[in-house]
Amino acid sequence: MADTKKPAMSASKAEILDAAAEVFMRLGADTASIDDVARQLGSTKGRIYHHFPSKGVLLAEVCLRAADFVLQKVPPVIAPDAAPEENLRQMVLTHIPEVLRTLPYHKVIIQSYVGVQQKSTTALERELFAQIQQERKAYENLFRNVLQAGMQDGSFRTQNTSIAMQSLLLLINAPVFWYRPRADEPETFVAELSAQLADMALASLR
């Protein structure tokens, strides 16, 4: 495996990624123009093209950051000695709030999950999208492993693992499709939502 360093992103670059995620979410990554992102920043194209060589790379880095968010939060809550059910519950309870905290990023990466093949003309873009796919598979395997462990020790019923994993992942990402933060929303809403989805997820496997 190659180096898995974090290049320590500059503040300006992070600000651009935030704006891009916001705009790509609202207009769609294809429809939105670089000028749209610049307008969201209150600046011009020059700033963006100074930090990113192309629109495709900008999009790829938004998606990559989306994957990184959950990959930094979820693995630490997995306890090797804990029961699969408890592990899965903690994973879901960690995943959902983190996803909703960084919602625009995940709304963007989900656009690519629909199966639209990236055009990816340049080599750098292809490399980045390959890296995204790799991180996605790594994240999937976290869930696949806990699923298999649960089926082995009898806490989960035996069924096709791939189908169960895909369904589970989509279930815990469901709020990305419909959730919209509201001002009058109770402080505890996200936690309660996560708990309900964790219950549903676990129940669906028993």
Partner DNA sequence: TTGACAGCATACTCAGTAGTATGTTTGCCT
Partner DNA sequence: AGGCAAACATACTACTGAGTATGCTGTCAA
Interface positions with DNA (CB under 7 A): 10, 12, 32-36, 38, 43-47, 49-51, 53-56, 121
Residues 6+ apart with CB under 8 A from 14: none
Task: From 13-21, 63-71, 108-116, 128-136, give the range in contact with a copy of itself by CB under 8 A.
Answer: 108-116
The one among 27, 130, 138, 191 contacting a copy of itself by CB under 8 A = 27
CB closer to a copy of itself out of 17 and 165: 165
d(CA 75, CA 59): 25
Quote the CA–CA distance of 98 and 172 in Å, as a whole number.
Answer: 12
Question: Which residue in this structure is represented by tokens 């990559």?
Answer: 64
Instruction: Kindly tell me the burial class for residue 92, based on how many C-beta atoms sit within 10 Å of its own C-beta (0-12, 13-18, 19 or more).
Output: buried
CB of 146 to DNA, least distance (A): 40
Does 79 help bind a copy of itself (rule: CB under 8 A)? no
Residue 54 and residue 48 in contact, taking contact as beta carbons nearer than 8 Å: no
Query: Does 93 help bind a copy of itself (rule: CB under 8 A)?
Result: no
Q: Decide: helix, strand or coil at residue 146.
A: helix
Can residue 77 be called a binding residue for a copy of itself (CB under 8 A)? Answer: no
The option from a copy of itself, DNA, none interacting with 123 (CB < 5 to 8 A, set by class) reads none
Task: Supply φ then ψ for residue 31, to 5 degrees.
Answer: -70, -40
Binding site for a copy of itself (CB under 8 A): 25-28, 30-31, 107, 110-111, 113-117, 119, 159-160, 163-164, 166-167, 170-171, 173-175, 177-178, 193, 196-197, 199-201, 203-206
